[in-house]
Chains A and B, each alone.
Chain A
């Protein structure tokens, strides 16, 4: 931990000592990392295939056409069929399938039954399937990956804009401040949902356009806090002292005032992550989010609520959403606590 400054190390120490937040953090990071390599756990392609003394790793890379394994089609091999053929032919070929052997886009139909299928270990649909026969666990995991990346991207963009603009507004004051206050007031009164609906009716939004569109209308909240904070800190004597040692305006803004406002920023951090996830989920729920068949929690929730008799759909989506949001909140709480230079104390 030598790359951290002493106060950074102290904060890390404090953060680690807050067990609930720390374990939530570890759990959350592992979830994110695991979701980034979700193909290894949740996939309809096997991890390893041995076929006629050749070993294949189909997980990443191009599709392997059926001709490789002795079928007469050019599209991607149906590995489930291949697996059962291996078992039948008994000629030493084998393959290892991931734990959840379904892709989030795959409609798996069981003969003689209509989807959705309830959770079952024997069919390997551990959380059942949705109305179209797609595995819920697979869709939850891939949906999580998209939601968290979306939320982090949104957060980065809104923080960069909100923090720098807020700091400049608070620092310069005067006309600049007044003009941007009015602009922000106008922007925050624009009904974002309608804007996105209108845009969605013109173009099909993808990951990037949706993120930028949401960012364009959600950076304002942070600006107010940052502006107020800068105004307040600007009158403090240490800012004058910094000026007296020859620090420039930019330096004072970002090296002196910003670190003093950091506890406000990190307090908002979990809420921003949460709001990013909920924004995407609600848009997907309404059908204005990412185009289908992108795996998404909102879409799953929508299926679940319109088909309440198949409880496992709504239950999985709601449970996943609540767990992730709670984890993020715990993390945020611990970060804020760790950044607070004062120890918690009270009077008897």
Chain B
């Protein structure tokens, strides 16, 4: 495998709240490779979005802070970077697409001016005219018809799918090395979803950028990603290639997640499978394995599990003491 573009190791993020310090991310580690897509999957509140914001250092101070760990990007540790350096990176080398295209565009500025702004920030050597031309080019690239006309329109005049295309155009304007997509298709309907995913894949092929794709939709993961990291309550509990994950998931939580997908061929009879119990509150997280209060295989020694991943194969790691004993259902 080629050299990693971005290496996140042992990233810990704490949130200071009125109720005390919450350990939101616990030793999260993963790599991003050029031209590859890593899917980050997990249920709501497990820390997916916080991970993406932490990579951009966009956590809101004083509530969220990176307590430990490093984010190495081209030999530079982003955790140590100051505000100015981060501003130069954001939108330029690392770009981000947000979940809701309805709110992520500035309602009082035209589409054109919002794309041009990226060039104003990061491509100051271009003339005004060139910036406009580049923006127009980007808009065409993401498949917006009548781009010239759309440049002068406001976000509220565009449909959701088109707005997400505009967001993608903004994110990809400077041909970033890394694209972080935080549930970019959640707010869209299924046909548009497929179009947007295709578009992102095409653009990735063109640019060779690394992509971190955050979602809770396993279908999207299967469609788009090369590797998957499953998160649960602030920890990465299983990392595998996408084929391994769907064919031979090892962690009880991942298994449960996959079992919860409704199957087409069981006639719609029988109850929908779920994982019993609730995600523990971050305030009183159990020691050791964070999943053990819901896990049917849990044993006494699960209390002593730490964040380290157990290796199954080079590409497949599991954060569980007993994964070997669990038989495939």
- Name A's B-contacting residues (CB within 8 A): 5-7, 236-238, 240-248, 251, 255-256, 259-260, 262, 341-342
| Chain A nearest CB, measured from B154 CB (Å) | 6
A-B contact count (CB 8 A): 80
> Which residues of chain B from 69 to 122 have any CB-CB distance to chain A below 8 Å in the complex?
86-92, 95-96, 98, 100, 103-110, 112-113, 117-118, 121-122
Show 16 residue pairs from A and B whose CB-CB distance is below 8 angstroms, ordered by the A residue.
A5-B113, A7-B109, A241-B105, A241-B170, A245-B121, A245-B171, A246-B86, A246-B88, A246-B122, A248-B87, A255-B117, A260-B106, A260-B107, A260-B108, A341-B108, A342-B156
Chain B residues near A256 (CB, 8 Å)? 106, 109
For B157, the closest partner residue in chain A by CB is A341
Q: Could you tell me the distance between the alpha carbons of A251 and B90 in the complex, rounded to whole angstroms?
A: 14
Chain B residues near A5 (CB, 8 Å)? 110, 113
- In the complex, whether B152 has a CB less than 8 A from a CB of chain A is yes
| A240-B92 in contact given A5-B110, A7-B110, A7-B154 (Cβ < 8 Å) | no
Chain B residues near A342 (CB, 8 Å)? 156
Q: Is the CB of A244 within 8 A of B87?
A: no
Chain B residues near A242 (CB, 8 Å)? 106, 117
* Residue in A6, A251, A262 whose CB lies within 8 Å of B108: A262
* Residue in B58, B109, B122 whose CB lies within 8 Å of A243: B58
Majority DSSP secondary structure for residues of A touching B: helix
Q: Is the CB of A245 within 8 A of B106?
A: no
Q: Is the CB of B95 within 8 A of A341?
A: no
Q: Is the CB of A237 within 8 A of B91?
A: no
Q: Could you tell me the distance between the alpha carbons of A255 and B90 in the complex, rounded to whole angstroms?
A: 17
For A261, the closest partner residue in chain B by CB is B108
Majority DSSP secondary structure for residues of B touching A: mixed
Instruction: Name the residue in A237, A244, A341 with the highest tally of chain B Cβ atoms < 10 Å from its Cβ.
Output: A244
- In the complex, whether B56 has a CB less than 8 A from a CB of chain A is yes
- Name B's A-contacting residues (CB within 8 A): 56, 58, 86-92, 95-96, 98, 100, 103-110, 112-113, 117-118, 121-122, 152, 154, 156, 167, 170-171
Q: Is the CB of A245 within 8 A of B90?
A: yes
* Residue in B96, B107, B121 whose CB lies within 8 Å of A247: B121
| Chain A nearest CB, measured from B178 CB (Å) | 12
Given known contacts A240-B98, A244-B98, A262-B108, what 20 new A-B pairs fall within 8 Å (CB)?
A7-B110, A236-B103, A237-B98, A237-B100, A238-B105, A240-B58, A241-B98, A241-B104, A241-B167, A242-B106, A243-B58, A244-B95, A244-B96, A245-B95, A245-B118, A246-B91, A255-B117, A259-B106, A259-B108, A341-B107
Chain B residues near A243 (CB, 8 Å)? 56, 58, 90
| Chain B nearest CB, measured from A127 CB (Å) | 46
Instruction: Name the residue in A241, A242, A251, A260 with the highest tally of chain B Cβ atoms < 10 Å from its Cβ.
Output: A241
Chain B residues near A241 (CB, 8 Å)? 96, 98, 104-105, 167, 170
Q: Is the CB of B89 within 8 A of A246?
A: yes
Chain A residues near B92 (CB, 8 Å)? 246
Q: Is the CB of B87 within 8 A of A246?
A: yes
Chain A residues near B96 (CB, 8 Å)? 241, 244
Q: Could you tell me the distance between the alpha carbons of A247 and B92 in the complex, rounded to whole angstroms?
A: 11
Q: Is the CB of A6 within 8 A of B58?
A: no
For B91, the closest partner residue in chain A by CB is A245
| Chain A nearest CB, measured from B49 CB (Å) | 11
Chain B residues near A260 (CB, 8 Å)? 106-108
For A235, the closest partner residue in chain B by CB is B60
Q: Could you tell me the distance between the alpha carbons of A256 and B107 in the complex, rounded to whole angstroms?
A: 9
